[in-house]
A and B are shown apart, each in its own frame.
Chain A
């Protein structure tokens, strides 16, 4: 079963809830190795999207929703997460195109485009202790699931699980990008907040897809 505008809107609502629930946790993670604003910034960004969902014109597509999230995050999130997530959602929107329903391969393609956008914007590589360390295994797992014939929800499940493992795996890494890189070796032993929020958002996408499918 493909994922449509209802899924996209519900994903944004669920994302806003999840980010709000984990706001303090993200702030704490970011305070340990960064500037401590990640949870607050992400929360502000997603809360700003919510009222705009009601103004989406009839006939809007999942791609339109992704674009709305992109422009809102870029304008409202003050830290690096604004341009990075904004670019991710924007590239995802371009990959989604005008499709009204997204199947497994389409979801895998969207995730890949989003990850590529983050890499282009932030120039981080796997192992730099950034959100890319959640995104890259997620994209790989999504591609594999799609190739194996998984439906959209199955692809998102695979992506979310891989992103969660990727976020945990950032803990021993030494940061080479962003504010945490100023800490050098002292950044080891802490989970990267951007990788954690990426995993939360992908898990929200999978949960909403599964709920729609009645799983």
Chain B
């Protein structure tokens, strides 16, 4: 089962309502990925269910991989126990991720919807922890104070490149355009920031809460970052394909 070619997600919560609500929330941005709620006990009480989690993994699995996100500690224990009972082939493509359930679930759903491989779906979920997504990735210092040029292009004081654009989307940088931005940023190896937030972190971008008319500074300290900055700036200036 699951959605062919896409990583499936299982949301394990002590509350059936939370798991179902998260499927609805994340489903807005991931209408075709397999998102499965495994909340509460078999008889609808607060708790987690080995049987529901096991069934959820089977339902989400298309053979591409399954990422399981959990809320409180015993949800993780239940999920780990469920993994113990899987056959070796299935277990090899199932990952339990330690990340905030809602934020990580939304970020993972966007990655799964994009057809990302399981490692990237896991990384997207983990990005919600607010830590660097790749080990050893040292956040570059933010672009220094820059001289503002009349055409909106800034020249960073030391190295790097930045541009400022005005958001034209009527709803601001909401989930869909934020996901578009993150997906584009992820195609570049250079670190790029959007008003100081990592452009590759969906949660980081969404939590900026940018609304229509906001000034957005896209910057990179990387000597080779100009192409990425320009591409993202143009996407933002175009309104992300929205009006």
Known: A78-B41, A83-B74, A179-B73. A41 touches B80 (CB 8 A): no
Task: Please tell me if the beta carbons of B48 and A87 are within 8 angstroms of each other in the complex.
Answer: no
Alpha-carbon distance between A144 and B233 when the two chains are bound, in angstroms: 71
Q: Digitize A97-110: 1 where CB-to-B-CB distance is under 8 Å, 0 elsewhere.
A: 00000000000000
Q: Which of A82, A121, A179 contacts B50 (CB 8 A)?
A: A82
The chain B residue with its CB closest to the CB of A178 is: B73
A114-129 CB mask vs B (1 if < 8 Å, else 0) is: 0000000110000000
Q: Judge whether A141 is part of the interface by a CB distance below 8 angstroms.
A: no
Whether B73 contacts A83 by the Cβ 8 Å rule is no
User: Which residues of B sit under 8 angstroms from A41, Cβ to Cβ?
Assistant: 47
- B148: Cβ under 8 A from any A Cβ: no
Is there a chain B Cβ closer than 8 Å to A74's Cβ? yes
B78 on interface, CB distance cutoff 8 Å? yes
Contact at A78–B49, with CB atoms within 8 Å?
Answer: yes
* B77 contacts across to A, CB distance below 8 A: 80, 82-84, 121-122
Decide if A80 touches B81 in the complex (CB within 8 Å). no
Q: For residue A122, which residues in chain B have a CB less than 8 angstroms away from its CB?
A: 77
Residue A79 is within 8 A (CB to CB) of chain B in the complex? yes
In the complex, the answer to whether A86 meets B81 with C-beta atoms within 8 Å is yes
Given A37-B46, A74-B50, check contact A79 B74 (CB 8 Å). Answer: yes
Contact B80 A75 (CB under 8 A): no
Q: Which residue of B lies closest to A41 (CB)?
A: B47
Q: Interface digits, B106-150 against A, CB 8 Å rule (1 contact, 0 not)? A: 000000000000000000000000000000000000000000000
Sorting the interface of chain B by its residue count into under 10, 10 to 19, 20 to 34 or 35 or more gives 10 to 19
Interface pair B78/A82, CB less than 8 Å apart = yes
- A residues near B74, Cβ cutoff 8 Å: 79-80, 82-83, 178-179
Residue pair B49, A83 in contact (C-beta under 8 Å): no
- Chain A residues, Cβ within 8 Å of B49: 75, 78
Q: Which residues of B contact A35 (CB under 8 A)?
A: 46
B91 vs chain A, min Cβ distance (A): 16
- Does B208 touch A at the CB level, under 8 Å? no
CB contact list, B36-50 vs A, under 8 A? 40-42, 45-50
Q: Can you list, as one digit per residue, whether each of B11-49 has a CB less than 8 Å from chain A (1) or not (0)?
A: 000000000000000000000000000001110011111
CB-contacts of A139-196 with B (<8 A): 177-179
Complexed CA–CA distance, A178 and B72 (Å): 9
Closest chain B CB from A92 CB (angstroms): 15
If the complex has contacts A78-B46, A179-B73, are A83 and B41 also in contact, measured as CB distance less than 8 A?
A: no
Indicate whether A79 sits within 8 Å of B81 (C-beta atoms), given known contacts A178-B73, A179-B72, A179-B73.
no
Whole-angstrom distance from the CB of B70 to the nearest CB of chain A?
12
| Nearest Cβ on chain A to B61's Cβ, whole angstroms | 20
Minimum CB–CB distance from A123 to chain B (whole Å) comes to 9
Residues of A near B215 (CB, < 8 A) are none
Q: Please report B residues at the A interface, Cβ cutoff 8 Å.
A: 40-42, 45-51, 72-74, 77-78, 80-81, 84
Smallest CB-CB A-B distances: 8 pairs: A78-B47, A80-B74, A78-B41, A83-B77, A83-B81, A74-B50, A75-B50, A83-B78
20 contacts between A and B (CB under 8 A): A35-B46, A74-B50, A75-B42, A78-B41, A78-B47, A78-B49, A79-B74, A80-B73, A80-B74, A82-B48, A82-B81, A83-B50, A83-B77, A83-B80, A83-B81, A87-B84, A121-B77, A178-B74, A179-B72, A179-B74
Instruction: List chain A positions with a Cβ less than 8 A from chain B.
Output: 35, 37, 41, 74-76, 78-80, 82-84, 86-87, 121-122, 177-179
